[in-house]
């Protein structure tokens, strides 16, 4: 009982750390550069699925016919880089306004989802994509979860350090300037579109890192592991904590995960499992409304620079 | 003709721009000589700000050409490439001051411009390893010097959007000064500025001219306009009604009728 419970908790911590990586990516795009991305989950999917395809060993009988059988440490950087290139190809969309971006990015996420759902030869489709993982084969549940808490803690801290450095650098300052007044930034000789494109790619790469590690942790993935509404969970977390603020992003994610965990533990009505899940959204939604009404800039407020404020 | 003084830095030819049925700028041609202070005056709705927005690349002209140092920059203006125009030396301040309101005054002065060879993304990656950021130190020093120049050191850590319009105007001017362009387009640099700061701004403008910079400004305060301008263009209904020295403009009968006589007569 206790082992199961500890594994359950560790599982939550792992998920929290993966989501933290996602939300830090979103924070660069929205919190700093002001790029609206309702399709963030697509880049997590790309990171996960490209990693999966690179690692998969195809056999004559497997549904999935593509795979290179590479080890994770080789597949991971390739998958992240390829996702970065894909993001770079579509990054010119940042020229568009918020409304257009909302539709384009959401459509992109749905598109990626449909393709992974249907092109079973490439992605395993709804049957799923399963990779072989040494860690998974050798370690028991508890150690496995513990190992991943360690791995993800290191990666999440590295990502946090990177986004923090970016935030307070001249690059971050310019991104913030563009978000606050794009025309004014341009009038000061700043190529706003180019900066926003870079921010879009950097954010997507960070999300792909999270996605790739997510697959490595769960070993087997189906498209529904990355539901389109995952993006909005990340948005809620960011808006709760304070967009533009890395600490706020982490805090918001923490609050969401805590609510999620409490809902699963205490709102679990065996006959009606959907009630607990539904109530979680109700509570999160109420919290978001309260925060937006009482403190529109989020719990921790916007980013603070070392030049006061 | 060979004289440096009479080199044309900006030439607009037959510029037109309409908003619906309103012709804001109507076949407007004018020239600006390098190293001068040129003022554009005219009644409200004459098209002054529209003209600036066309030259600065914020609005597309319907027709006509714009030349900057004999280079045809109409394509840049048409493509709204104002950041390229800013890089080649045309900088604009706005009528209603624009800034990065949530930033502090200090930080908003650290935004412009890209320093030479300053690849900000690459220097960010370097920051991951080393704490020393030389280009940031250079920026910081320039911003501090500029702050003491405009007398706002005390407010360096205050948010820009909490300031009055005059202070915001000053900060905007400072941002443009940091950009160091050769052509300044100043849209009502004195509007909203407190009386005691007016001489400061006028001295800055005169100092810029002494350094060989060119200033084109839109201004409604007639006394400073007549005092510091080398050339005045009077814009009425999107056309240049008259051009000349302050003395000529003061005596021009058409200008008196169209503008000076109707509104405040100045001196």
The interface predicted TM-score of the complex, written ipTM, equals 0.88
What is the Cα–Cα distance from B122 to B111, expressed in whole angstroms? 17
The average pLDDT across A143-164 equals 95
Average pLDDT, chain B: 86
> Does B103 sit within 8 Å of A184, measured CB to CB?
no
* Angle made by CA atoms A275, A281, A284, in degrees to the nearest 5: 135
Classify B76 in phi/psi space as left (phi over 0), alpha (psi -120 to 50) or beta.
alpha
Low-confidence winner among A35-39, A73-77, A170-174, A260-264 (lowest mean pLDDT): A260-264
Neighbours of B256 (CB within 10 A): 14
Give B-chain residues touching A174 at CB under 8 angstroms. 111, 120
By Cβ distance, the residue of A170, A185, A187 closest to B91 is A187
Interface test with A, best of B76, B92, B108, B118 (most A CBs within 10 A): B108
What is the Cα–Cα distance from A7 to A10, expressed in whole angstroms? 5
pLDDT in tens, A193-240: 999 999 999 999 999 999 999 999 999 999 999 988 899 899 999 999
> What Cα–Cα distance (Å) separates residue A43 from each residue in A85, A104, A108, A206, B43?
11, 14, 10, 9, 55
| Residue among B23, B28, B18, B19 at smallest CA distance from B241 | B28
pLDDT in tens, B41-59: 988 888 999 999 999 888 8
**Chain A CB within 8 Å of residue B205 CB:** no
Neighbours of B194 (CB within 10 A): 12
**Chain A CB within 8 Å of residue B157 CB:** yes
Give A-chain residues touching B175 at CB under 8 angstroms. 188
The average pLDDT across B225-240 equals 92
**Cβ neighbours of residue A45 under 8 Å, at least 6 residues apart?**
A109, A112, A113, A116, A211, A223, A226
**Chain B CB within 8 Å of residue A127 CB:** no
The chain A residue lying nearest B91, using CA atoms, is: A187
> Does A189 sit within 8 Å of B114, measured CB to CB?
yes
Name which residue leads in pLDDT, A284 or B37: B37
Q: Which 147-166 residues of chain A touch chain B by CB within 8 A? A: 161-162, 165-166
Low-confidence winner among A50-64, B12-26, B67-81 (lowest mean pLDDT): B67-81
pLDDT higher than threshold 50 for residue B266: no
**Chain B CB within 8 Å of residue A171 CB:** yes
**Inter-chain CB pairs, A–B, below 8 Å:** 114
Give B-chain residues touching A177 at CB under 8 angstroms. 100, 103, 108, 111
* Angle made by CA atoms A40, A43, A49, in degrees to the nearest 5: 140
**Chain A CB within 8 Å of residue B208 CB:** no
What is the Cα–Cα distance from B65 to B10, expressed in whole angstroms? 11
pLDDT higher than threshold 90 for residue A260: no
Q: How far is CA B261 from the centre of its chain?
A: 27
Neighbours of A102 (CB within 10 A): 15
Give B-chain residues touching A185 at CB under 8 angstroms. 83, 100, 111
**Chain A CB within 8 Å of residue B136 CB:** yes
Confidence of residue B114 (pLDDT cuts 50, 70, 90): low
Predicted structure pTM score: 0.91
Give B-chain residues touching A191 at CB under 8 angstroms. 83-84
- Using DSSP's 3-state secondary structure scheme, residue A209 falls into helix
Give B-chain residues touching A183 at CB under 8 angstroms. 58, 82, 98
> Does B157 sit within 8 Å of A189, measured CB to CB?
no
> Does B107 sit within 8 Å of A309, measured CB to CB?
yes
> Does B98 sit within 8 Å of A184, measured CB to CB?
yes
Out of 3.40.50.1580, 3.40.50.300, 3.40.630.30, 3.40.50.620, the CATH code matching B1-89+181-267 is 3.40.50.300
SS (H, E, C) A245-260: CHHHHHHHHHHHHHHH
pLDDT higher than threshold 60 for residue B148: yes
The residue ranges of every structural domain in chain A are 7-227
- Using DSSP's 3-state secondary structure scheme, residue B254 falls into helix
The average pLDDT across B60-74 equals 90
Which pLDDT belongs to residue A228? Answer: 84
What is the Cα–Cα distance from A142 to A6, expressed in whole angstroms? 8
pLDDT higher than threshold 80 for residue A309: no
- The CA distance from B17 to the nearest CA of chain A, in Å, is 20
pLDDT higher than threshold 70 for residue B5: no
Torsion angle, CA of A13/A18/A20/A23, rounded to 10 degrees? -150
Which pLDDT belongs to residue A137? Answer: 85
Confidence of residue B118 (pLDDT cuts 50, 70, 90): low
Which pLDDT belongs to residue A118? Answer: 94
By Cβ distance, the residue of A165, A170, A184 closest to B100 is A184
Report the relative pairing of strands B63-68 and B71-72 from DSSP bridges: antiparallel
Give A-chain residues touching B147 at CB under 8 angstroms. none
The residue ranges of every structural domain in chain B are 1-89+181-267, 102-179
pLDDT higher than threshold 50 for residue A300: yes
Q: Give the tokens for residue B95.
A: 């009528």
pLDDT higher than threshold 80 for residue A85: yes
Task: Give φ, ψ of B231 to 5 degrees.
Answer: -135, 145
**Cβ atoms B36, B231 nearer than 8 A:** yes
A220, containing H or E segment: strand A220-221
> What Cα–Cα distance (Å) separates residue B170 from each residue in B160, B176, B181, B195?
11, 10, 17, 13
pLDDT in tens, B157-167: 888 888 888 88
> Does B101 sit within 8 Å of A187, measured CB to CB?
no
**Chain A CB within 8 Å of residue B95 CB:** no
**Chain B CB within 8 Å of residue A28 CB:** no
Confidence of residue B265 (pLDDT cuts 50, 70, 90): very low
**Chain B CB within 8 Å of residue A308 CB:** yes
Q: Give the tokens for residue A88.
A: 């770079």
**Cβ atoms A42, A112 nearer than 8 A:** yes
**pLDDT winner (highest mean) among A65-69, A157-161, B219-223:** A157-161
Which pLDDT belongs to residue A161? Answer: 95
> Does A302 sit within 8 Å of B102, measured CB to CB?
yes
Give A-chain residues touching B184 at CB under 8 angstroms. none
Q: For chain B, report the end-to-end CA distance as a whole number of angstroms.
A: 34
| Residue among B162, B164, B267 at smallest CA distance from B221 | B267
Q: How far is CA A15 from the centre of its chain?
A: 11
Report DSSP state, residue A91: G
> Does B106 sit within 8 Å of A165, measured CB to CB?
no
Residue A274 exposed, middle or buried by CB count within 10 Å (0-12, 13-18, 19+): exposed
> Does A173 sit within 8 Å of B124, measured CB to CB?
no
Q: For chain A, report the end-to-end CA distance as a whole number of angstroms.
A: 50
What is the Cα–Cα distance from A91 to A43, expressed in whole angstroms? 12
**Chain A CB within 8 Å of residue B121 CB:** yes
């Amino acid at each position: 009982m206790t082992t199961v419970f500890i594994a359950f908790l560790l599982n939550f911590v792992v998920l929290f750390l993966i989501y933290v990586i996602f939300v830090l990516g979103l924070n660069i795009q929205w919190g700093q550069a002001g790029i609206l991305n309702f399709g963030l989950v697509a880049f997590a999917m790309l990171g996960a699925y490209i990693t999966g395809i690179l690692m998969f060993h195809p056999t004559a009988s497997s549904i999935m016919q593509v795979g290179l059988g590479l080890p994770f440490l080789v597949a991971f950087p390739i998958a992240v880089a390829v996702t970065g290139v894909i993001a770079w190809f579509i990054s010119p969309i940042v020229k568009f306004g918020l409304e257009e971006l909302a539709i384009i990015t959401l459509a992109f996420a749905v598109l990626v989802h449909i393709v992974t759902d249907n092109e079973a030869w490439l992605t395993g489709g709804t049957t799923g994509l399963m990779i072989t993982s040494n860690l998974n084969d050798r370690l028991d549940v508890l150690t496995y979860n513990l190992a991943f808490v360690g791995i993800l803690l290191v990666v999440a801290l590295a990502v946090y350090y990177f986004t923090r450095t970016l935030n307070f650098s001249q690059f971050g300052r310019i991104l913030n300037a563009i978000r606050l007044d794009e025309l004014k930034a341009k009038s000061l000789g700043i190529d706003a579109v180019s900066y926003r494109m870079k921010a879009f790619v950097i954010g997507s790469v960070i999300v792909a890192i999270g996605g790739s590690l997510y697959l490595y942790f769960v070993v087997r993935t189906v498209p529904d592991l990355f539901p389109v509404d995952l993006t909005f969970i990340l948005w809620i977390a960011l808006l709760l904590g304070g967009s533009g603020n890395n600490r706020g992003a982490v805090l918001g994610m923490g609050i969401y995960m805590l609510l999620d965990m409490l809902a699963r533990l205490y709102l679990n009505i065996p006959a009606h499992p959907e009630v607990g899940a539904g109530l979680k959204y109700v509570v999160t939604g109420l919290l978001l409304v309260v925060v937006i009404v009482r403190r529109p800039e989020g719990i921790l407020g916007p980013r603070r620079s070392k030049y006061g404020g | 003709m060979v004289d440096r003084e009479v080199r044309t830095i900006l030439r607009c030819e037959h510029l037109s721009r309409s908003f619906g049925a309103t012709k804001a700028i109507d076949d407007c041609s004018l020239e600006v000589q390098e190293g001068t202070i040129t003022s554009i005056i005219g009644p409200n709705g004459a098209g002054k700000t529209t003209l600036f927005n066309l030259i600065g690349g914020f609005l597309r002209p319907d027709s006509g050409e714009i030349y900057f140092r004999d280079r045809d920059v109409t394509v840049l203006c048409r493509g709204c490439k104002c950041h390229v125009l800013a890089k080649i030396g045309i900088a604009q301040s706005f009528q209603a001051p624009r800034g990065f309101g949530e930033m502090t005054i200090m930080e908003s002065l650290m935004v412009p411009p890209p320093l030479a060879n300053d690849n900000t993304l690459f220097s960010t990656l370097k920051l991951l390893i080393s704490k020393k950021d030389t280009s940031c130190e250079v920026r910081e020093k320039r911003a501090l010097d500029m702050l003491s120049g405009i007398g706002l050191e005390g407010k360096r850590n205050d948010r820009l959007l909490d300031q009055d319009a005059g202070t915001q105007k000053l900060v905007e001017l400072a941002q443009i000064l940091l950009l160091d362009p050769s052509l300044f387009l100043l849209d009502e640099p004195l509007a909203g500025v407190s009386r005691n700061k007016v001489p400061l701004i006028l001295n800055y403008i005169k100092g810029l001219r002494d350094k060989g910079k060119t200033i084109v400004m839109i201004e409604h305060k007639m006394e400073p306009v007549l005092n510091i301008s080398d050339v005045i263009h009077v814009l009425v209904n999107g056309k240049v009604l008259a051009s000349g020295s302050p003395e000529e403009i003061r005596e021009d009968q058409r200008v008196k009728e169209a503008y000076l006589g109707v509104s405040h007569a100045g001196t």
